[in-house]
Amino acid sequence: MNHSLLGARTQLIQQLVYFDEELTTFLEAYTPNQSKIRSTTRQHLMDYCLELTRLMQEFKEEILHSRVLIGSRVLVRYMDDQETDSYTIVFPSKADPNINYISFLSPIGSCLLLGDVGKVCSIETPSGISVMKIEKIEFRNAGDR
């Protein structure tokens, strides 16, 4: 296994350990108490951990770039004007919109997380519905945790 692949595997295992040990603390810090948002976020993170576990069982570089994970850079095409943009999906503490690092809890990050190439996401914005399609996924080992 090459060095960058080993680093990616290590980061993803650290994410699994973090969510296993700190999920309740994480949810308390980032979601309202006893809310539908907390319940939905918990389920989304459980689905994420199940997908990570599956990916670890057959870990290969092409699989690593087949799903949007925390740490993935995602190229999207906006369907209304065909413009493209890229976002890196990160933990909330690493989010920085100035460099397109977006939290997996944000509306865009949440919609993209676990998506694959071709997935279409609809995001409600103040100016209306924005529809985007995933064009490319590249795991960048940038999500941390």
pLDDT tens by residue, 43-87: 999 999 999 999 989 888 888 899 999 999 999 999 999 999 999
CB count, 10 Å around CB of 116?
A: 11
CB count, 10 Å around CB of 101?
A: 18
- Give the percent of the chain with pLDDT over 90: 74
Q: What is the pLDDT of residues 5-31, one digit of tens each?
A: 788 889 999 999 999 999 999 999 999
Q: What is the pLDDT of residues 77-117, one digit of tens each?
A: 999 999 999 999 999 999 999 999 999 999 999 999 999 99
d(C-alpha 132, C-alpha 121), whole Å: 5
pLDDT band at residue 142 under the 50/70/90 scheme:
low
